[in-house]
Chain A
Amino acid sequence: MKELNYDVVVIGAGAAGLATAEVTASAGRSTLVIDRDDFAGGVLMQCIHNGFGLHHFKEELTGPEYAERLESAARNAGAEFLLQTTVMDFNLADNENKELLALSPEYGVMRITAKAVMLAMGCRERNRGNIGIPGRRPAGIFTAGLAQRLINMSGLLPGKSAVIIGSGDIGLIMARRLTWSGIPVKAVVEIRPFPSGLTRNIVQCLNDFNIPLYLGHTVSKINGADRVESVEISPLVDGVPDSSRSFTIECDTVLLSAGLIPENELSKRGGVTINMTTGGPLVDAWRMTNIPGVFAGGNVLHVHDLADYASDEAALAGRHILDYLNGKRPGREFPVAAGGNLRYVTPNEYIPGEKTQFFMRSLIVEDDAELIVSLDGQEIMRKKLRFVKPPEMLSVEVPGELTARGGQLSFALNGGGR
Chain B
Amino acid sequence: MKRELICISCPIGCHIQAEMTAAGEVEVSGNRCPRGKAYALNELTDPKRMVTSVVACASKELPFVPVRSSAPVSMALIGELLDTLRALEVAPPLASGSVVLSDFKGSGVNIITTRSVKE
Contact = CB atoms under 8 A, between A and B. Distances in A.
A202 B6 contact: yes
Interface stretch (A77-85, A150-158, A184-192, A373-381): A150-158
B8 A62 contact: no
25 contacts: A48-B53, A48-B68, A48-B114, A50-B50, A62-B66, A62-B114, A64-B66, A65-B96, A65-B115, A68-B96, A68-B116, A152-B64, A152-B66, A153-B64, A154-B63, A155-B54, A155-B64, A180-B82, A199-B6, A199-B8, A202-B6, A203-B6, A204-B8, A207-B6, A387-B11
B49 A386 contact: no
Contacts of A202: 6
Interface string B48-72: 0111111010000011101010000
A149 B57 CA distance: 16
A387 B96 CA distance: 36
B47 to A, nearest CB: 8
Contact of B54 (A68, A152, A200, A387): A152
B62 A153 contact: yes
B12 interface: yes
Contacts of B116: 68
B75 interface: yes
A49 interface: yes
B68 A203 contact: no
Nearest to B115: A64
Interface string B17-57: 00000000000000000000000000000000111111010
Interface string A39-60: 0000001001110000000000
B66 A203 contact: no
A62 B78 CA distance: 18
B54 A208 contact: no
A386 B53 CA distance: 34
A415 B50 CA distance: 37
A416 to B, nearest CB: 19
B114 A64 contact: yes
B13 interface: yes
B73 to A, nearest CB: 12
Contacts of B62: 153
Interface string A199-221: 11011100110000000000000
Interface string A289-303: 000000000000000
A49 B49 contact: no
What is the predominant secondary structure among interface residues of chain A facing chain B?
Answer: helix
Contacts of B66: 48, 62, 64, 152
Contact of A199 (B13, B63, B82): B13
Contacts of A68: 96, 115-116
Contacts of A199: 6, 8, 11, 13
Contacts of B6: 199, 202-203, 207
Given A64-B66, A65-B115, A208-B49, 16 more contacts: A48-B54, A49-B52, A50-B52, A50-B68, A61-B114, A62-B114, A64-B96, A68-B116, A153-B62, A155-B56, A155-B64, A180-B82, A199-B8, A199-B11, A199-B13, A386-B11
Interface string A128-157: 000000000000000000000001111100
Nearest to B79: A180
B18 to A, nearest CB: 14
Contacts of A387: 11-12
Contacts of B51: 180
Interface string A392-418: 000000000000000000000000000
Nearest to B83: A182
Nearest to A207: B6
Contact of B49 (A64, A154, A204): A204
Nearest to B62: A153
Contact of B64 (A50, A154, A386): A154
Contacts of A386: 11
Contacts of A62: 52, 66, 68, 114
B25 to A, nearest CB: 23
B49 A45 contact: no
Contacts of B56: 155
B33 to A, nearest CB: 14
Please name the 9 residue pairs, one residue from A and one from B, whose CB atoms are nearest each other, closest first.
A48-B66, A64-B115, A155-B64, A199-B13, A62-B114, A200-B8, A387-B11, A64-B114, A65-B114
A52 to B, nearest CB: 10
